[in-house]
Structure 1
Amino acid sequence: MPFDAQTLLGNLSGHEQAPHIWIAYSGGMDSHVLLHALSCIRGQLASELKAIHINHDLHVDATQWDRHCARICEQLDIPYQSTTVSLDTVAEEGIEAAARSARYQALSGYMAEGDILLTAQHADDQAETLMLQLLRGSGVPGLAAMPAQSRFSKGWHLRPLLTNTRDELLDYATVHQLQWIEDPSNSDTRFDRNYLRHTVMPQLRARWPAMPHLLSRSARHMAEANELLENQGVRALENMNIGSRLRIKSSDPLILSIGELCALSPAQQRNLLRHWIKQQGMPVPSAAILDQLQYSVVQASIDSQPLLQWRGVEVRRYQDDLYIMQVLSPHDVTQVICWDGHSRVELANGTLLQLAELSQQGLDLDKLKGTVLEIRYRQGGERCRVAGAGCSKSLKHLFQEGNVPPWQRSRIPLLYVNNQLALIVGLGVCEGFGKSG
């Protein structure tokens, strides 16, 4: 299908009222076509158009490219902004991924509520992405490739050219005599995408001329399948026993019942685990890590305490429960915090304590007047007779009775009054300090 400005307008349907439309403008042919076509339909849009150029400062001509983009935007009367980003994690993730991450992070900073970001990926890009995901052994989410629209920052990210091929965009650029930048790095076949683009895809296209459209269609089918899986995962999570224990701050772990999880088929387990992790706002693991989670953690013996970490996330097992949390930072159990009892006190892990909240746990504030308050952590050997209970018990025993996982026990604040244990935060008040004691 030939590309024109009205085709673009149709692909923006439903988003014409956005406050601003930001065009990610690299100066290359694809983004120039997008920019030019938008300039032709601006009168049919309620949005203010703005172009933004991300300078990765990776090429000697980067400054000239910036000036070229500014000049084109001036000719089209589109406000232009440029920002330079630095790549801090190239060694870890590779230059392509690092540049992409830095680019989108910079773009997100310009988005206001309800704004739209447009990028110029097309059908050939989509076909390449699908091929790369296939070669990585990706599952359905990866094979869905790039979504036509998705939530981004405070608004939306749209890719309105995904239904058009590179050749169709080139025809538009030629007819309108557009001038664009050719980035020599796009020809460097040391990069996987460029190798596919220049070596593999031309051979496939020679045999199957409609290949870009066909692979893009497959990606759309995968996107639909992924949506169905996501909906199924959401429904399954709603029926699962998801809870929390001793959740004294928002980043504390959420819990999933392994017994209920194992009642599902292996495929349903993986789908539910993926959406459980996603629901917590955590990075979704690769298929390989998900398999490891399923077989090494979920199916571990009930008396083991396996741990799996990836990208700042960790999942642990304790008894018949699965816990997800941010990777635990080192914790100094020897610290002692003197507290006046009047102000809120912030602990090293970010937990905020105040007496009003501790009163809700049964602590009698009248018994604290004129006393010395300290916050400590478990050292070993502590005992407490929980108010209303029969006898004194060790903290270890109380933690076991309360099903407190071992890794949390040394992190639970203990309130001491005149050097006497008065409260185990979230677990119980010691005798003599309760409202009825």
Structure 2
Amino acid sequence: MTNNSVFSTQLEGSIASFLAAQPPQTSPIHLLLALSGGVDSIVLLHALSQLSARLPFTLSAMHIHHGLSPHADDWLSLCERVCIEKGIPFYSDKVHVNLRSGQGVEATAREARYQALEHMRQQLGAQAIVTAHHMQDQSETLLLQLMRGAGVKGLSAMSVWDAERRLFRPLLQFSKADILQQAHDLQHQWVEDESNTDISFDRNFMRQTAMPVLRERYPQLDNALARSASHMAEAQSLLDSLASQDVLACDVREEWLGQSVDIQRLRQLGDARAKNMLRYWFQQLDLRMPNTEQLQNYWQQLATVKPHRYLHLPLQGQAVQRQAYLHHYQQRLYCVGKPSALPKTPLVWQGGKSQIWGDWQVQFKVSKGRGIALARLGVNPAAITLHKRYGQGVVLSDGLELLLLARSGGESLQPDGKRPRRELKVIFQMLAIPPWQRAFYPLVNVVSSQPSHSQTLVSLASLAIDAAWRPGRNAYGLEISLQPLTTAL
């Protein structure tokens, strides 16, 4: 059997195993190949093109133009031409690489590349992004992670199938020599990135300088490192399994824009298990993993915070613009997103079921015995029936408006007619509303222009209704709730 036949047979087996492991599909699985134009991805493109005639998958390719090389346009042209020749749908995207991000050119370009690929994968409905990482890439990744002081997860390096990120790497079992031999035998055309010789980049230094020396001394280096990465992946699987049990044991609850756990139960796990659980929890919420020093700092504060002390710590989402916080409040640890502030411009209710207010969607629900009494707003029963049955807008009495606006401080309500008015901050405390949520409950005012202009605070969203504006048990009221238009976590 020729080298080409061995390569094709082994790759076909890898692809077939991946396809067989996927959930049943009503149509062939769609794969999106990350096509750089280098020899690795070009060889994989040609091989997948042939295999798509025999295996149940369809193929597209995407090239990411980083704009970092003077030859970037030529690479894009080559990728497009090869795909046209093969009849493979081709896509490209020019991304901006922020050279001042503080993460370095390699990391910043990689993040921009994967964001663009993931966006296209979702647009196409593809089941996986296919990359051309090979055995030597795996070795370099493991050693680079070791140099950075990575833990078990980092030393797991790359897996053939990363279900969380939808990344499929079918060439991890092949060496660079195998790929080059395939490319030369089949006379493929590819590009060479001139930056690959620049050893100021960590990966290039490892590839060009360190690895050749190590391979000369240890000929089986790549196979040995692949085994180590596999062992680490198994160990990480056990740690994740333990962490998932610990999350449940810590009474995880779904919260507004996130989740919470019992801080006392978290402390009872001990330092090592608690930090392992936090890492897993952050990963499940799609947050960027804090480094060892940051995680240790978080844990020291969480382990010593007093029961009634409020504490908040910033976290970073996978996308730079996404922020989240750890909050300690009333013996629970919250991990929640940070939504946009309520708009400064008030919102006037137009009588419908939903309105957009800045970065928020406001829902208006007509309910029996709850919310703001519609009778006080001059709405007759017939209008309520038409609204509930057919969604027709509710019309208030002439001269009345329902106005939503953000709090400014010092406001008060009288939710209980037998007790005096209370400041909103006292009402929040009585209802145990976490401090970080309080800015997102808008004031609801009734504005009257007859017989003279007046403005009356009647509720705090639907959290607290002034007793004079609450409907009777069998009367209808208006409940008001808000949700951010974009998920913060």
What range is the shorter-chain TM-score in? 0.7 to 0.9
Distance in 1, matches of 2:30 and 2:259, equals 38
Name 1:316's counterpart in structure 2.
Answer: 327
Is 1:271 aligned to residue 267 of structure 2?
no
**2:7 is matched with which residue?**
4
Matches within 5 A, 1:177-256: 177-243=187-253, 247=256, 252-256=257-261
Distance 1:316 1:68, change over 3 A: same
Aligned to 1:36: 46
SS in structure 1 opposite 2:366?
helix
1:288-327 maps to which residues of 2 (within 5 A)?
288-311=293-316, 312-327=323-338
How do residues 245-394 of structure 1 correspond to structure 2 at under 5 angstroms?
Answer: 247=256, 252-311=257-316, 312-327=323-338, 329-330=340-341, 336-342=346-352, 344-356=354-366, 361-369=370-378, 370=397, 371-387=400-416, 390-394=419-423
Identify the residue that residue 108 of structure 1 maps to in structure 2: 118
Match of 2:430 among 401, 404, 415: 401
Shift of 1:83: 1.7
Partners of 2:210 and 2:325 in 1: how far apart? 38
Distance 1:393 1:340, change over 3 A: same
Q: CA–CA distance in 1 between the matches of 2:294 and 2:131? A: 31
Question: Over aligned residue pairs, what C-alpha RMSD do you find?
Answer: 2.9
Cα distance in structure 1, aligned partners of 2:249 and 2:135: 39
Match of 2:58 among 48, 54, 75: 48
How far did 1:189 drift? 0.4
Which residue in the other structure is 2:171 paired with? Answer: 161
CA apart distance, 1:306 = 2.9
Q: Deviations over 1:140-174 (max 9, x none)?
A: 22222222112478xx4210011122123223333
Separation of aligned partners in 2, 1:211 and 1:151: 27
**Deviation of the 1:331 alpha carbon:** 5.2
Superposition pairs for residues 77-96 of structure 1, below 5 Å?
77-79=86-88, 81-92=90-101, 93-96=103-106
Distance in 2 (alpha carbons) for counterparts of 1:261 and 1:361 = 38
Separation (CA, whole Å) in 1 of partners of 2:409 and 2:352: 29
Tell me the distance in 2 between the aligned counterparts of 1:25 and 1:318: 48
Give ranges in structure 1 of 5+ residues lacking alignment. Answer: none
Length-normalised TM-score, structure 1: 0.86
Q: Using the alignment, how far apart are the partners of 2:352 and 2:74 within structure 1?
A: 60
Which is further off, 323-332 or 307-316? 323-332
Partner of residue 144, structure 1: 156
- Whether the 8 Å CA contact 2:42–2:190 is kept in 1: the answer is yes
**Which ranges in structure 2 are unaligned for 5 or more consecutive residues?**
21-26, 317-322, 379-396, 448-454, 474-489
**What SS class does the counterpart of residue 354 from structure 1 fall into?**
strand
Q: Shift in Å at residue 389 of structure 1?
A: 6.2
User: TM-score if structure 2 supplies the norm length?
Assistant: 0.78
Question: Is the 1:57–1:84 Cα contact (8 Å) retained in structure 2?
Answer: no
Q: Deviations over 1:213-232 (max 9, x none)?
A: 21122222222222222232
Structure 2 residue 19 is matched with structure 1 residue 15: yes
User: Counterparts of 2:275 and 2:93 in 1: how far apart (Å)?
Assistant: 40
Q: 2:441 — aligned with what?
A: 412
Q: 1:234 to 1:66 in 2, by over 3 A?
A: same
Distance 1:195 1:426, change over 3 A: farther
Percent same amino acid among aligned pairs? 32
2:391 matched residue in structure 1: none
Report Cα offsets for 1:103-138 as digits up to 9, x if no partner.
223323443334433211011101111111122222
Question: Which of residues 438, 460, 463 in structure 2 aligns to 1:427?
Answer: 463
Moved more, 334-343 or 412-421: 334-343
Q: What do residues 157-210 of structure 1 show as CA deviations (whole Å, max 9, x unaligned)? A: 210011122123223333334343221111110101001111111122122111
Q: CA deviation at 1:343?
A: 5.2
Question: What SS is found at the alignment partner of 2:288?
Answer: coil
Number of matched residues? 426
8 A Cα contact 2:250 2:263, kept in partner: no
Q: Which amino acid aligns with 2:92?
A: T
Once the two structures are superposed, what CA deviation does each residue of 1:53-86 show, in whole Å capped at 9, x if it has no partner? Answer: 33323222223333333444455x3425252413
Cα offset, 1:434, TM superposition: 2.1
